[in-house]
Structure 1
Amino acid sequence: MAHSTAGTRNRAVPRPLPDPAGLPALARGSVPLMALAAGLSASGNYFAQPLLDVIQRDLHIGATAAGLIVTAAQAGYALGLILLVPLGDVLERRRLAVSLFSLTALFLLLTAAAPGGPLLIAGTLLVALTSVGAQVVVPFAATLAAPAERGRVVGVVMSGVLLGGLFGRLASGALSELGGWRTAYWVNALLMAVMTVLLQLRLPRLPRSREAGAMSYTGLLRSTLALLRQEQLLRWRAAIGAFSMASYSVQLTALTFLLTRSPFDWNAAAIGLFGLLGVIGVLGMNVAARLGDRGRVQAVSGTAGALLTLSWLPLLAGESSLPWLAVGVISLNIAQQAGLNSCQNVIYALRPEARNRINAGFMTLFFLGGALGSALASVVWSWAGWGGVCLLGGLLAATSLVLWVLERVGTNGGARPVPGAVTR
């Protein structure tokens, strides 16, 4: 448990906990493997986005049905976060991860073979539901990592998730040119099957906690919600993460609208390549991870919130200037990924025995924030154009920064995970 420096009412600085007996250390090469696994698992949720027009023509479905494919991916992932990720605290984690990866491979095959829209939508929902195996791998890595390197390890694995989303879109477009839209799903299914075998062979078995092992499934879900009530820092960080992701999603959604009109007039392929600037966000995440491991997680949080807010100034100037637009996109990506890593550094230090439930609660609210940002961006774009979008994104980012300041005040200085503060 973590306790405030002023007393027991807040959990601000985790106190040392006894190292659980028999906990294995990270084997050589395990971190890159887990990052690759998380990236492959996440990538399948993004395959359909650049292929909607091709799928629509091939399956003879309407635009509404094609749009439901993306909705199904979002809904399935959200359900998986809240319904499946908490199981990592009661089931043996390697078995859970391997099971989810194997099911994802199977559902990718079913999706690839879908003869029509309804089965494609159902397959997409199932793929997204089990692709939360990536969010089982992240706390798995955090548990195996030594306290002094936990931030770095989590940063590397989360970088895999980020890169999986970015390259998933590109890969699906390229593979569709080679053999049609189904090719991306066939190839990803094969890769997921291979990864299932590698995870089974390379990852260690982890002992379950006695407390969690005695829970029923409904008790586990109630416990996930209870953690949000009990852990003040989890609530703060979930709110900070949700607003920062909302700001980030405003840019993701509205950028396509901007680049398809004058003076840019870009096609979908050019927009996809421009989106690769998001890869630079990986640098922000890994720098933040190393600073967090040195006890500077609060400095990272504050800096990330400020940079996220200020990034909307070059984005505003980018309405008619590609260089300023690129500066804004790069800055926003670095800030978002650094802020996410600092939030994870804090929440994973709270209760080592409940990391999967904590991750489930945090990530559910995180992605709900992203969905809210996307919805608001579409509405504001219609009403106020790019200027209104930038104002919206800046306000959401500023809110995340204000929440960080309030967290510092409300928790007597906030959480600052330090090396050796928690168990692996």
Structure 2
Amino acid sequence: MPSGSAGRQRAVLALVCAAAVSTIYGIQPVLEAAGEDLGLGEGALGWLVAAGQIGYLAGLVLLVPLGDLFDRRRLITVHLLLTAAGAGTAAVAPGGGIVIAGLALAGLFAVVVQITVAYVAAVSPPGERGRDIGAVTSGVVLGILGVRVIAGTLGELTGWRTVYLVIAGLCAVLALAARFTLEADVRRPRARYGQLLSSLGRLVVGDRLLLSRGLVAFFLFASFGTLWSGLALPLGDEPWHFGTTEIGWFGLAGLIGAQGAARAGRWADRGLALSVTGWSLVLLTASWLLIAQARASLWLLIVGVIVLDFAVQAVHVSSQHLLTTARPDRSSTVIGAYMAFYSLGSALGAITATWAYSAAGWPGASLLGAAYAALGLLVATSTRRFAALPRVTPCRGSAAAGPPPAPAWSPPGRRGAC
């Protein structure tokens, strides 16, 4: 990441994504401890996990379109503060019902991640959009996987409530950092909020690029969810018998692979988003051959996890680059609709991973994850023609080599003479 204000802003926004998404996944490593503390039975534990996901899905529909109406910097600040309020409520709640409500509130406003991605797409010069989206998106993976390591350790040392106290404090600090670090992103809304909501369904059905990339994301994150929702099962069983802290450390392998997100963004800037999608989905499918060896070799498992997370993030960044380039005037709405597919796919992977494991062990779960990846590859291949983007017309009077690049992170209206 380069030095200067552009690098600082990318770092802040990557941390915003990490902190926000960790409110949804932070409960997983400490789920059993939270259930015991709150007096919840096994049947009710699922609601602690589902609360954030349900809130998140509602936020994708109800809140993300606001980014096409209002200053996204202000929305990022306000949503982070409300995310902090939800996490703080969960941390101090006396009973399970209030904890679930706090987690749902945090999940609702955790869609600040999508508003952040839309902000990045809006303020980045076209030639650097993919790189910037990739750098910021890496924060999402940092939150999903890194929180497993941190929450597992904190949960054992100080209790599960400390996890959400730390997340709440981090969200509040980042709200201030975003307010004073980011440039304003003022816009003139072209539609009313109600019109944006009513157009969501028509957008999904009528925009073939969105539908195709959404279906790819659905199967992509079903495969991702199969791994990360089910991996604790073989690691906690014979022959390893690992505890929650040891299992959490496997998130580091995912973080190593996810560093490819920034590189994938640079490839997308060079017009390679479609080819990156294709070979990354092949890699994703093949990675399950290694992951399936979890009971026999931890090294093969670690390599498979690294490959899987690299492939997932490469496809994810490429898809967002294509969508925000095709619809720059509605990037928030488009990203929100796209992420709804992501959320549904993640939920499918989480639900079916445990079912497959109980029915056929880890080989069965691995076969399921590979099948999801192969279906994503099939969709990407069969809908490739929908992702062709028009050429960008250079500024009138520019030299043959094109206009000079705009400064990174310049706000709208300050990007040159075009």
- Whole-Å separation in 2 of the counterparts to 1:62 and 1:318: 30
- Whole-Å separation in 2 of the counterparts to 1:420 and 1:256: 51
1:305 aligned partner: 281
CA contact (8 A) 1:283 1:334 kept: yes
Q: Residues 179, 389 of structure 1: CA spacing in aligned structure 2 closer, same or farther, 3 A cutoff?
A: closer
**Residue 243 of structure 1 aligns to which amino acid in structure 2?**
F
**How far did residue 379 of structure 1 move?**
1.7
| TM-score for both structures, normalised by structure 2 | 0.89
**Residue 284 of structure 2 aligns to which amino acid in structure 1?**
L
2:241 aligned partner: 265
CA contact (8 A) 1:147 1:419 kept: no
CA contact (8 A) 1:148 1:418 kept: no
2:367 aligned partner: 391
Q: What secondary structure is seen at the aligned counterpart in 2 of 1:326?
A: helix
Q: Relative to structure 2, which stretch is displaced further, 231-240 or 390-399?
A: 390-399
CA contact (8 A) 1:247 1:394 kept: yes
**How far did residue 60 of structure 1 move?**
2.3
> 2:103 pairs with 96, 105, 124, which one?
124
Percent same amino acid among aligned pairs? 39
Matches of residues 152-167 of structure 1 in structure 2 within 5 Å? 152-167=131-146
Deviations, residues 369-398 of structure 1 (Å, cap 9, x unaligned): 111122222222222222222222222111
1:338 aligned partner: 314
Deviations, residues 28-83 of structure 1 (Å, cap 9, x unaligned): 52111111111111112222212222222222232223331111111111111111
- Whole-Å separation in 2 of the counterparts to 1:363 and 1:421: 31
**How far did residue 179 of structure 1 move?**
3.7
Q: Relative to structure 2, which stretch is displaced further, 170-179 or 306-315?
A: 170-179
- Whole-Å separation in 2 of the counterparts to 1:303 and 1:421: 31
Q: What secondary structure is seen at the aligned counterpart in 2 of 1:221?
A: helix
**Residue 137 of structure 1 aligns to which amino acid in structure 2?**
T
- Whole-Å separation in 1 of the counterparts to 2:112 and 2:43: 29
1:97 aligned partner: 76
1:40 aligned partner: 19
1:175 aligned partner: 154
1:283 aligned partner: 259
**Residue 82 of structure 2 aligns to which amino acid in structure 1?**
L
- Whole-Å separation in 2 of the counterparts to 1:263 and 1:63: 25
1:325 aligned partner: 301
CA contact (8 A) 2:238 2:295 kept: no
Deviations, residues 224-270 of structure 1 (Å, cap 9, x unaligned): 22221221111110011111111121122222211122222222211
Deviations, residues 389-412 of structure 1 (Å, cap 9, x unaligned): 22222221111111111112x43x
- Whole-Å separation in 1 of the counterparts to 2:7 and 2:370: 42
CA contact (8 A) 1:292 1:417 kept: no
Q: Residues 310, 27 of structure 1: CA spacing in aligned structure 2 closer, same or farther, 3 A cutoff?
A: closer
**How far did residue 27 of structure 1 move?**
4.6
Q: Relative contact order: is structure 1 or structure 2 higher (C-alpha 8 Å, sep ≥ 6)?
A: 1
- Aligned pair count reads 393
**How far did residue 162 of structure 1 move?**
0.9
- Whole-Å separation in 1 of the counterparts to 2:40 and 2:264: 45
**Residue 366 of structure 2 aligns to which amino acid in structure 1?**
C
CA contact (8 A) 1:209 1:353 kept: no
Q: Does structure 1 residue 241 correspond to structure 2 residue 217?
A: yes
Deviations, residues 208-231 of structure 1 (Å, cap 9, x unaligned): 24413xx1x332211222221221
Q: Residues 172, 386 of structure 1: CA spacing in aligned structure 2 closer, same or farther, 3 A cutoff?
A: closer
Q: Relative to structure 2, which stretch is displaced further, 175-184 or 235-244?
A: 175-184
Matches of residues 147-226 of structure 1 in structure 2 within 5 Å? 147-212=126-191, 215=192, 217-226=193-202
**Residue 100 of structure 1 aligns to which amino acid in structure 2?**
H
1:21 aligned partner: none
CA contact (8 A) 2:84 2:172 kept: yes
CA contact (8 A) 2:80 2:171 kept: yes
CA contact (8 A) 1:295 1:418 kept: no
Q: Relative to structure 2, which stretch is displaced further, 346-355 or 64-73?
A: 64-73
Identify unmatched segments of 5+ residues in structure 2: 396-411
1:256 aligned partner: 232
Q: What secondary structure is seen at the aligned counterpart in 2 of 1:314?
A: helix
Identify unmatched segments of 5+ residues in structure 1: 1-25
Q: Residues 64, 56 of structure 1: CA spacing in aligned structure 2 closer, same or farther, 3 A cutoff?
A: same
